[in-house]
Amino acid sequence: ITRPDNRPDTLGLTVLDEPCAKQSDPTVLDLQLRAISKQTTDKKVVVKSIDTAEKNPKQIESWIDSIKELHRTQPPPNVHYSKNMPDIDTLMQEWPPEFEELLKEVGLPTAELDCDLPQYVELVCSILDIPVYKGSPHHNEKIQALHVLFTLYSEFKNSQHFRALAQDNQLDNALKGGGPEDAPDDKEEERLIL
């Protein structure tokens, strides 16, 4: 929007209109920009020193608060995969009922399975629809698949929906026996099997 007097408006281009009451610390601003851009640089950060710091506790408190805020608002780290990986939300979708019934009968492969670790990783990832690409130039295809697997696990663990389902399952496990003779002993741990 142009100014009413049709003069060029350079506010924000040549002059920064910022309230004088609490101006940004250039060092904190530089750290914020570095965190957002996610680029490393050899440029050294110039940190302002405070003369007679013992007499200026408010400036020190302000610096500490601004650094705390910077750490709180930093975006989470991103992982860039060499090939396309499925979205975590897609992997969290409900399985078809036939597949769930088959898993109840057969169960997931356990650590007792007679295979080496790379084969076990491929097997578990294939069951969960996580691709393990072959022929990566860095030979880290299993590490990337495992990263997706553990991210999926973390999302399930932190999901309120699945936490409620797990609690329902725990109640079902306690009620399966029916009588007091089938109830677990007080000394025995209760176990939740998903």
Backbone dihedral region for residue 11 (phi beyond 0: left; psi -120 to 50: alpha; all else: beta)? beta
Q: Where are the alpha helices (DSSP H) in 86-192?
A: 88-91, 97-106, 117-127, 141-158, 160-175
Q: Give the distance from CA 92 to its chain's centroid.
A: 15
* pLDDT band at 173; cut points 50, 70, 90: very low
Q: Give the distance from CA 19 to its chain's centroid.
A: 36
Angle value at C-alpha 91, between 85 and 96, nearest 5 degrees: 135
End-to-end CA, the chain = 60
pLDDT of residue 188 exceeding 60, the answer is: no
pLDDT at res. 130: 92
Average pLDDT over residues 97-124: 87
Q: Give the distance from CA 69 to its chain's centroid.
A: 19
Rounded CA-CA distance 113/129 in Å is: 20
Encoded tokens for 8: 């060029």
Rounded CA-CA distance 46/164 in Å is: 50
Mean pLDDT of the chain: 76
More confident residue, 3 or 191: 3
pLDDT at res. 28: 81
More confident residue, 114 or 34: 114
Q: Which of 102, 142, 104 is nearest to 126 (CA)?
A: 142
Average pLDDT over residues 80-101: 86
By percentage, how much of the chain surpasses pLDDT 70? 73
| In contact, 92 and 161? CB cutoff 8 Å | no
* pLDDT band at 93; cut points 50, 70, 90: confident
* pLDDT band at 169; cut points 50, 70, 90: low
pLDDT of residue 138 exceeding 80, the answer is: no
Encoded tokens for 64: 């500490």
